[in-house]
Structure 1
Amino acid sequence: MKSLIRWGATLGLVGGTLFGSISAPAPALALSEDEILQKLASVPVFAITDAEGSPLIASISNPQSGNGRTEVAGVFMNPQDANRFVERLTQEQPEMAGFVQVTVVSLAEIYRLEQSQQNNAIEFSYVPTRQEVESAVSVLLDSGREDELLQQNGEYTYPGVPLFMATAGPDQGYMTVELDGEVVIPLFFDREDLDNVIARFQEQQPDFAATVQTDVVQLEGVLETLRNENNEVMEQLMFVPHSESLEFVGNMMRQMQQQQQQQLQLQPGEGASPLPGSAR
């Protein structure tokens, strides 16, 4: 499989102005592949790879497949979870130390790899954080939607990676933000990030404060809808990465820049032509 491309995009937190609830959006055509990739490009995720960037593959039993096995690559939503996985793996299998690493990629690259495969040779398994799963379970239980949850060992769990959004107003329209002149519907990977935005909204529009409700949808289901359905809401969706993931990637990029600067050594040049506008 082609190596995963390392993360290199410029990152930024949502800085739009809270706009309020929105009525039904204008009809839109189904999103193209490029439009989907553009929506996913700002979301960092964390894969376990070898030194060349090829993903670590696990072969698991799957009676439903023809050969009884499925090749699976894990994609973590949180860098700490990915690091803990590598630590546990190298403790259990010391020969893997120095061979595996956590590689940051964009969700767009994972999506592109999924779509480029023939016969789904490798299945990408998205690994949510425990905290966000617990938050999703709480949201669904509070709204009486137990049927959307799974039960494992007598406890409820959320089946997939949860995305959090908010509704408000008498008709419970989607809450939106205005960003660069466009009205978008944000989907948050972090419940706490959404709560912070809701708090600002309730301060700005106290008349709507009591009507605000938190909802949860599944990342895997949203990706399926983006890919296969002509849904008018899809064009306005915006994925908001986990703030901890953005901080992790920002710190990593700053460290890389510092290392590169330390390695640079100026040397006297000879015979170079003068640059336009220079005095020499």
Structure 2
Amino acid sequence: MKSLFHWGTTLSLTGSLAWGMLLGGSVPALALPPEQVSSSLGVTPIFFIMSGNNQLMYVSTENQERVSPRFISRQDAEAFLAKLKQDNPQLANQAQVAAIPLGELYKADLEGANQSQGVEFQYVATQQQIRAAQQVQQQFVGTPLFYATVGDDSLTIQQNGKTVIPFFFEQQGLMQMVERFRREQPAQAANVQVKVVPLEAVIETLKTSNDQALTQIVLVPSQEALEFVRSVQEQVQQQNQSNRSN
């Protein structure tokens, strides 16, 4: 770690670190409205490291590039922070793991609050899901999103009365859906194919295409992420109840 990376801080964030944080700025015109893209990206929490003075932390690589990691897994973020505190306790003493929903992070990126001082933002997937992706596509690079097709069509589900195309951060979730489909549609079972695409490519496509069919895409968080979201929602409810009682 010490020979490869140097930690620093940059990019002060305005507003609260609480769930749902938004950053200020103006939104450029895009092919799809930001609200539609944000809705597709959803509430999947993205975890990052904050310094004690409310700044994002970054690493400097051997090539002198500055990278701020965005972790898909809270456990990975916490493990990374623990390593940082071990290697550089003075710098990381007050650092902490913070989170923001991917949809809100996308809007913050559009507003330009995260585009300064030459820092690159890089998503960090779990090793388990990267290995799963490479079993599907040998040379896969990026943050895996798993989906399935039946012949030439994407495998869809009904959600709140709407047909959506689920893209899973966790292959296990997709396989549960695929197995259910195969049981219900045995004649089509042999036509199902599991596929993988980088999150980064999905975001770029949503940003640059005006195809309304893309609004059918819904990202499905991992089980770990869902549990985190539920815990945050419970905390918010408890806080609201406490405020009303006071």
Would you call these one fold, judging by a TM-score over 0.5?
yes
> 2:82 is matched with which residue?
87
| TM-score, with length taken from structure 1 | 0.71
Counterpart amino acid of residue 109 in structure 1: E
Q: Bigger radius of gyration, 1 or 2?
A: 1
**142, 147, 152: which is aligned to 1:165?**
147
Deviation, structure 1 residue 106: 0.8
> 1:48 is matched with which residue?
49
Mapped contact 1:31–1:234 kept (Cα < 8 A): no
CA–CA distance in 1 between the matches of 2:13 and 2:114? 16
How many positions carry a matched residue from both structures? 224
**CA 1:105/1:53 → structure 2, altered by over 3 Å: closer, same or farther?**
farther
4+ runs of 1 displaced by more than 6 Å? 261-264
CA–CA distance in 2 between the matches of 1:231 and 1:262? 43
Deviation per residue, 1:191-212 (Å, 9 max, x gap):
0010111111111111111211
Mapped contact 1:166–1:175 kept (Cα < 8 A): yes
Deviation per residue, 1:19-54 (Å, 9 max, x gap):
xxxxxxxxxx94211211222231111111124543
CA–CA distance in 1 between the matches of 2:156 and 2:32? 20
Mapped contact 1:164–1:191 kept (Cα < 8 A): yes
Mapped contact 2:42–2:219 kept (Cα < 8 A): no
CA–CA distance in 1 between the matches of 2:42 and 2:32? 15
> 1:272 is matched with which residue?
none
Mapped contact 1:114–1:124 kept (Cα < 8 A): no
Counterpart amino acid of residue 92 in structure 1: D
| TM-score, with length taken from structure 2 | 0.79
Deviation per residue, 1:111-151 (Å, 9 max, x gap):
2232222894232110011011101100014xxxxxxx2xx
Structure having the higher helix fraction is: 2
> 2:198 is matched with which residue?
218
Calculate percent identity across the aligned residue pairs.
Answer: 35
Q: Which runs of 5+ in 1 are unaligned?
A: 10-28, 63-68, 142-148, 150-157, 268-280
User: Would you say 1:31 and 2:36 are equivalent positions?
Assistant: no
- Root-mean-square deviation (CA, aligned residues, Å) is 2.9
